Chain A
């Protein structure tokens, strides 16, 4: 017997109607969605139970009893376990998930992030590391999920924004492809880590997937939010170098023995000033971030529109970033709610002033006895060594570098897509989804220096002339997407099926144009290199559950990449996962402290084809540019070169095993998960050395090598206290990961010293890839120390046993440590008491090492004077007293383990202002609050492990106001 039940769903927050809530008849596939006013109607069997579920709210099950009208108030869910999670090509209830999937939403984000969305995630998720490249405004960040699985191909995760997988390559004129997305518009990040979760994105999923979902409108009367923040950034620390007075003393001492060639001619060049060059180039930077959004419905169409304006100054003078962003999302329902449309348009304009970051190194090096300005200078009044006759190789006045450089890029981006879901009228279990979109960016920029600048010059037959610079560039990135898939969900008794199948295509076009010239327009060189690649995919997924306890997910994807030849184009990527909700078994029913327990296991294969070369399988010829021509008989001919290629290049594949346990205790006051994984990547897409004579270069893009990664991840979230006034949320995540090269060459040979990486000088490398070691391990001589623990200059351990001198024999080098941490531990806490709230988030990184190139390149006495000019030295020169440079010593590979307090925030909320029409929150946030480390550089967090003149990350104090009305 059927009855029709109807009613209205509202939010416990503010009583507003909730549209889009899923209402299902329990144990069947029968269901509906609430309309824009929160109303629903559904015919069900009498005596059945309705399940109401909606993202961000606790699901409710309601027995209808004899009722025909059921109004429901959904509670916002702090302890949500049965949330809906966005996964590839669809959504899933968290409890049904069998793969390693974690998500994080607005309330958990790091506070005070204004330009780089990935900063919202720093330290928050096990197995996910986010390292910003530097403290420059809009600086890029490296995201690694489970440490990446490739050697030469990309290790970046696939980023999907509202269903659109975005281009990885950065357009010129911006450093960070995500900097064009306003962090304020982001609702959730979902991170897919294991193959079961990612294989549906087969072709680009080997390094994990991050799905970003932006905020959507809620139906109802439009509500507004305005937030604004004003922030002040300051340098945390300066390099400890000698002051002018200290330097004069040292130089006079060295002159006694003529060390570094210092004689009277040299001493005559010393100045009388005491200039702290670092303080001349840095400043307290002021930034502001302003966002206005409106959300609600107009004529029953839910929408959200937002506008953001950010202006950020860098602590290095003459660096800044401005961004305007506009975000519109419209989510109408048509055809009796059978047709759901989700239209997203994101536009942004970013103007990034990159300045001259070379000033950072110059400020450490430049002679502190010289003044910033010199009335006799021929170079716009800046003191310059050229005044004193120093020639090529002289260091440059950092203030001149900053002030005379005009280096600005502008990027406009529009990312738009429409997701259309049609539920068939005849067969509501069947849904057709179409997702079509376009991501288009265009950029242009310039980098100019006037001819009066001393720091750009050429020396010809002893005559030095300045050149200035007039460089310009422009670029286009265009990516178009079409996905079409069908989804069929059916419940038969205690069995649930959910089947998805479809196909997709995506194209990527990249165009770059650049020109470089001297300031007067001479020496012009122009270059352009347009390139494109296509992907075509067929994919399918089956979710099956028995009795809601036994879960199976199987996916398969077939990908075709234009990068490979017809014969090798196709890659097949399957995965299978099983889950067991043990808590639902009868034998645990009475174990009361345990509120949830699930174990999961998965295995799957994913693929990789994302390498820099779009045509690695084609025999191509490249013409030279106009500066690399060759002269015959007075005529310069462009040259034509055949390119190396491998006609048989194919997919790199990664097999991932994952074992996971999810648990909840004490009514889910404490929840967590533990993951164990192993990833084996084979047929690495390497740019690898091939036998001399076998191809048109000594390195070739081909499939050689293997990598193995293993790890353990633990996440815990708890609510130790929750009562009417006081709530305390705390979270901890722990990651242990290793990464090892297991095969590198066609025929591995112990005599092969490995592939050199990490250039730190003239044909000089400090890192190395070798079988049995982590990628980018440091490759150095082993320093010998005296009894007092001081390194002995030039004395290294003979590790090879060769009778020859130790230095100069690469076989005496060894692999000493690596840049990537062994352990990452994130902690975060949020306490709210009545109107006050306090939150912090910090990170402990253990086992990460850094090569301190700032010291190795400077801290030796022979560096002080040379090429007719002086250079300052770090004070730590007294720790070693090195006379000559010891660049290849492991002394400079330093333990850079650290604890960073990334974020501390205090807030006060005022409710019910102006007759309940206004809610306000005031906050004070400190980013980069403090660092605990033994490392003696400015910042132990160095992406890639070579610390050399990195734009320092500032400490930021941020005052914010958030208004809801």
Chain B
């Protein structure tokens, strides 16, 4: 006869919560999961044993959907396959997304999943006197703040859970946007001095990453908190910490987007990929494998509005054009041959070597924060009236970016040419396809409305105005159905 029925798992890859952290290595593995939760999708590469259940695990990577929401909604990127996500993916181009769309729901679920994983890890490492564990605990708080930052930026308000909320089947409370801003700010300020020194270990968030996140929070503060709540001076304070640190511009622009970009001195914080050991169908995979014109599955192209922002000689313009069968203008959104491909991200090294992984996956890391962005943010914060920086330094930074790849030079700008409009365009030229565009357009008041139109905005080829409430995504209908504590954003069905 059997003894009691309290069976414990017999799979050596599975442990119970009591025995999971029985070694120092296990704590680092737990930490690795928090970072991995932004780019990988589960415990098997490239897909399998997913962290969250969706209709398509590969598509559910946080990075892929955050990227879609930041880029497909703008002039920078166009998707080819209209039936994806139950026929809702083109809603991003047309500014017609709805609470029932899948893409927002995937990103939202991933954000909250990263939060609950971080909460569990914070509980597991709380109160330790081990300096390693104390640092891990601090980084877990950074990860949680970063996740909530994306919630703040994309959805405004979010369900709010901290390490005080144990897992169950309860209904989390809602946190409104201003409170969420303050929570993220207070967390980042609290951990800032405890974070690792810059560049202490590649792939882990350091003090510079913490400052970059704070600077992004501050630069967009008027969006999050309302007009008049500017924090440009605080932004410059944080950016100065980043700029004076050990990070430096890569000598060649492209080195930030290649298979060995982990060696770029410019990357402050990245989501890491490895073609052999860290496989996923994240955004890095789609923007390299799914790019039209490079022999991939032709999922992505760009609009003529982005192409038109570049001087013909700009060394940062990497497009796949007519010579590989792509045309500039897009007459049909689903025509994979219309619209240039973007050849900025590649899975080759800076010396032209193809990684020897022999897999369908890539080695290129996703540059979430890099020094080039910090330079542009600095210039913008100064222009918008922040103190602690000056316009000449700003012009110098911009010219460094424009000329680093040198040959042929596209020319310096003068302080007179440094206007906000210039900054917005320069950010497009420097940072296109890096997942910043929607946030930038909103900050400059050009995302919705008719101030700026680009092909297929609003669902017509020449572009029309979209409604102002679209600067926030709706809270996914599913979660609102599950959790009556959540309210809808204004403008959407059920919102006010």
Contacts and interface: CB of A to CB of B under 8 A. Distances in A.
B35 interface: yes
B113 A698 contact: yes
B87 A391 contact: no
B480 A627 contact: no
Given A693-B112, A693-B159, A759-B56, A746 B87 contact: no
B87 A762 contact: no
A645 B14 CA distance: 14
B183 interface: no
A763 B202 contact: no
A756 B59 CA distance: 15
A566 interface: yes
Contacts of A458: 358-360
Nearest to B50: A697
Given A691-B159, A888-B83, A631 B272 contact: yes
Contacts of B161: 693-694
Interface stretch (A524-532, A928-936, A945-953): A524-532
Interface in A36-81: none
Contacts of A752: 477-478, 481-482
A753 B478 CA distance: 7
Given A630-B32, A765-B86, A641 B117 contact: yes
A630 B297 contact: no
Given A566-B6, A692-B108, A762-B56, A630 B36 contact: yes
B11 interface: yes
A790 B270 CA distance: 52
Contacts of B169: 646, 690-691, 694-695, 700, 702, 746
Given A459-B360, A696-B113, A810-B86, A746 B20 contact: no
Nearest to B13: A623
B100 interface: yes
A624 interface: yes
A464 B54 CA distance: 31
Interface string A463-483: 111010000000000000010
Interface string A70-114: 000000000000000000000000000000000000000000000
Contact of B277 (A461, A627, A884): A627
Interface in B33-74: 33, 35-36, 40, 42-46, 48-49, 51-56, 59-60
A692 B109 contact: yes
A523 B361 CA distance: 11
B295 A391 contact: yes
Nearest to A806: B87
A528 B11 CA distance: 8
A458 B115 CA distance: 35
Interface string A528-555: 1111111010000000000000000000
Given A624-B43, A632-B202, A694-B168, A532 B52 contact: no
A629 interface: yes
Given A392-B297, A646-B169, A804 B87 contact: no
A633 B201 contact: yes
A696 B117 contact: yes
A485 to B, nearest CB: 15
A698 B482 CA distance: 11
B452 interface: no
B278 A691 contact: no
A789 interface: no
B487 to A, nearest CB: 13
A45 B221 CA distance: 102
Interface string B76-117: 000001111111101100101010111000101100110111
Given A641-B51, A691-B482, A764-B86, A698 B109 contact: yes
B479 A562 contact: no
Contacts of A620: 9, 14-17
Interface stretch (A226-234, A611-619, A733-741, A911-919): A611-619
Contacts of B360: 458-460
A374 interface: no
Interface stretch (B249-257, B332-340, B430-438): B332-340
Given A261-B335, A621-B15, A632-B32, A695 B167 contact: yes
A625 interface: yes
Contacts of A462: 294-295
A452 to B, nearest CB: 16
Given A691-B170, A692-B172, A641 B43 contact: yes
Among B14, B35, B45, chain A packs the most CB atoms within 10 A around the CB of B14
Given A694-B167, A753-B100, A631 B56 contact: no
Nearest to A391: B295
B1 interface: yes
Interface in A386-401: 391-393
Interface in B100-151: 100-102, 106, 108-109, 112-113, 115-117, 120
Interface stretch (B346-354, B394-402, B417-425): B346-354
B116 A693 contact: yes
Interface stretch (B23-31, B302-310, B366-374): B23-31
Contacts of B483: 691-692
B296 A391 contact: yes
B494 interface: yes
Given A392-B296, A762-B83, A763-B56, A628 B43 contact: yes
Contacts of A505: 1-2
A625 B480 contact: no
B444 interface: no
A628 B87 contact: no
B355 interface: yes
Nearest to B159: A693
A490 B217 CA distance: 84
Nearest to A480: B2
Contacts of A630: 32-33, 35-36, 40, 203, 272, 278
Given A531-B9, A619-B17, A629 B83 contact: no
Contacts of A532: 7, 10
Interface string B441-474: 0000000000000000001000000000000000
A434 B485 CA distance: 56
A804 B201 contact: no
A377 interface: no
A699 B52 contact: yes
B439 interface: no
Nearest to A624: B43
Contacts of B48: 625
A804 B55 CA distance: 25
A806 to B, nearest CB: 10
A638 interface: yes
Given A461-B354, A622-B43, A630-B40, A530 B29 contact: no
Contact of A751 (B40, B159, B477): B477
Contacts of B278: 627-631, 636
A640 B115 contact: no
Contacts of B29: 623, 637-640
B276 to A, nearest CB: 7
A862 B46 CA distance: 30
A627 B47 CA distance: 9
Interface in A681-705: 687, 689-700, 702
Given A460-B355, A808-B96, A810-B100, A689 B36 contact: no
Interface of A: 261, 391-393, 458-465, 467, 482, 505, 507, 518, 522-523, 525, 527-534, 536, 560-562, 566, 569, 614-615, 618-634, 636-642, 644-646, 687, 689-700, 702, 745-747, 749, 751-753, 756, 759, 761-765, 781, 802, 804-805, 807-811, 813, 862, 866-867, 884-885, 887-888
12 contacts: A458-B359, A461-B354, A562-B5, A624-B42, A628-B278, A639-B36, A644-B167, A692-B172, A694-B167, A751-B480, A805-B459, A808-B88
Given A458-B359, A624-B33, A694-B169, 8 more contacts: A464-B295, A629-B45, A694-B116, A694-B171, A764-B85, A765-B55, A862-B334, A867-B297
